[in-house]
Structure 1
Amino acid sequence: MEEVSTARVTWRKSTRSNGSGNCIEVANDFAGSVGLRDSKDPNGPVLAFSPAAWATFVSGLKRETLHN
């Protein structure tokens, strides 16, 4: 597995985060991928998704949210 430096990556959290610490952070500029990490562990592991896989994931979340 390739190791990518997160030093120059811009991470963001949802504006709907309530401060409880149960958040994820997303980075669109993660070595050509979309990075996902636990906000409580910024030096921990990062999941990397292709932009197409990330778009499919987010689309699925939106559809599920709208159906509930």
Structure 2
Amino acid sequence: MCLHQPACPAADAPDREAAHVVAAHSEQGWSLLCNGVVLFEDNGEILPDGQVIHPRRPIDAKAPAAA
């Protein structure tokens, strides 16, 4: 899909999120990358083959303290 030079990472590459955004829908929380990956604002992904990559959260993330 990518026509950039150098080409963007493929959908199955570890750095696939570095591909260029071709359609952004921030009001809906997702973007389409030029390698066919749908990237969600929570870092979840849908790859072109339909595979779902669940959101990744930092290991040291803590819930906010109760008031």
TM-score, with structure 1 as normaliser: 0.33
TM-score, with structure 2 as normaliser: 0.33
Which is richer in helix?
1
